[in-house]
Amino acid sequence: MSSHLEQELHQQPAALARLIEKQRGYAEQVRELFLREDVQYILIASRGSSSNAARYAQYLLGRAYRVPVAFATPSLFTLYEQPPRLDGALVIGISQSGKSPDVVEVVAEARRQGRPTIALTNTPASPLGLAADGVLKLEAGKEQAVAATKTYVNSLGAVALLFATSTDDARALGELQRLPEQLAAQLEHSWQHLNEVDRLGDVDGGTVISRGINYCTAFETALKIRECSGLLFESWSAADLMHGPVAAIGEGWPVVAVAPSGPALGAMADAVDAVAARGARTVVISDDARLLARGEIGLPLLPGVPEWLSPLVAVVPGQLAALRLAQLRGIDLDAPLGLSKVTLTR
């Protein structure tokens, strides 16, 4: 019998289609919150994989509304009990379970201060759902594997849905509605290349890099590999990597480059060349044939996905790489290294 993780990976396209169908109406209602004259910036509270979805929101919602999209500092609200003034903020809490106390407290405090609040959660009746003015349900269905997959993709999908509906962009909505089919095709394609990961052999860790809207994908890929296999993978912006951290990359060190077509592709090609010159073993996730050929290992993305939606499919090779590395190390995919499904932090 396959693991919960494998089953839930396959469920991602259907879960995304369900989100788009069932939550479009609510997303359209939320539009007025983004357009309020007193909203000067967006503040997001999140942890774990949800923070990687928030990184996507920083790019997508920042581009849509030309306002800063910032991360909250939950410890100011909980440990120090000195929450900042939130004048001008639209506050979004992202939590798959809706149970993270620090995320809940940020949203609750924002509501106490009279600011508009939205929860993105798989459980509307959760503490987060009850704390917010409104809830966009992730519609991922029950997720049993410790590693979040379909709830992560649906968190990205929820952000994309908010973008398409709140900007009243019919073209963007149409592109989003076609994405579940593209996601299904990418899953099938990536399963066929799963054993390419075996070529890495016995590794101790690695680095995942990207830029632009797929910055979130680098973080999510590194997190998935780390929590599933216990290997010390880290994530960097390709630009930040060159500001010192590249010194730790030497002969034989794996570097995974997430580089779909788009404005960041040229910079990512330069980064791949730079780490290869230091002796790194390069794994390239891209739809660009020339860049794929420059990597030691290529994990192809199917063409035709708009760049703004590419994180929803670019994460798939990373998810499957995490699964395969865990299998190669003999780790239980549904009980990796003492982790639990829900982590409660204050």
Instruction: Convert the pLDDT of each residue in 242-263 to its tens digit.
Output: 898 898 899 999 999 999 999 9
Q: Return the CATH number at 118.
A: 3.40.50.10490
Q: Are residues 294 and 322 in the same domain?
A: yes
- Domain span at residue 264 reads 184-328
- For residue 341, the model assigns a pLDDT of 45
Report the C-alpha gap between 112 and 246 in whole angstroms.
44
- Give 170-186 pLDDT, tens digit per residue: 999 999 999 999 999 99
| 310 and 190 housed in the same domain | yes
- Looking at the structure, do residues 133 and 269 belong to the same domain, yes or no? no
Chain-wide mean pLDDT for the chain? 93
Confidence of residue 1 (pLDDT cuts 50, 70, 90): very low
* Residue after which a domain boundary falls, among 143, 168, 193: 168
The pLDDT, as a whole number, for residue 336 is 67
Same domain, yes or no: 70 and 154: yes
Q: Do 8 and 83 belong together in one domain?
A: yes
Confirm whether 256 is domain-assigned: yes
Is 344 a member of any domain?
A: no
In the chain, how many domains are there? 2
Same-domain status, 157 and 223: no
Look up the pTM and report it.
0.94
Specify if 250 maps to a domain.
yes
Q: What stretches of the chain adopt beta strand conformation (E)?
A: 41-46, 69-71, 89-94, 117-121, 134-137, 205-210, 232-237, 254-258, 281-286, 297-300
Total length of the chain: 346
The greatest distance separating any two alpha carbons of the chain, rounded to the nearest whole angstrom, comes to: 55
**Does 303 lie in the same domain as 201?**
yes
Q: Rounded mean pLDDT of 115-135?
A: 95
Evaluate whether residue 298 is within a structural domain. Answer: yes
Calpha distance 346→325 (Å, rounded): 32
Q: Do 194 and 85 share a structural domain?
A: no
Q: At which of 168, 200, 225 does a domain end?
A: 168
Answer yes or no: do 18 and 43 share one domain.
Answer: yes
Contacts of residue 109, defined as CB under 8 A and 6 or more positions apart, other chains included, come to 77, 83, 86
Are residue 308 and residue 264 in the same domain, yes or no?
Answer: yes
286 lies in some domain:
yes
In a domain, 176, yes or no: no
Whole-angstrom CA distances from 333 to 319, 320, 330 are 12, 12, 9
Contact 122, 135 (CB under 8 A): no
Q: By mean pLDDT, which of 48-62, 118-132, 332-346 is the weakest?
A: 332-346
Residue 336 within any structural domain of the chain: no
Q: In this structure, are 227 and 253 located in the same domain?
A: yes
The whole-angstrom distance between residue 300's C-alpha and the CA centroid of its chain comes to: 19
Worst-scoring range by mean pLDDT, 20-29, 189-198, 231-240, 333-342?
333-342
Query: Do 211 and 306 sit in the same domain of this protein?
Result: yes
- C-alpha 140/C-alpha 149 separation (Å) is 9
**309 occurs within a structural domain:** yes
% of the chain at pLDDT higher than 70: 97
Among the three residues 107, 135, 168, which one is the final residue of a domain in this structure?
168
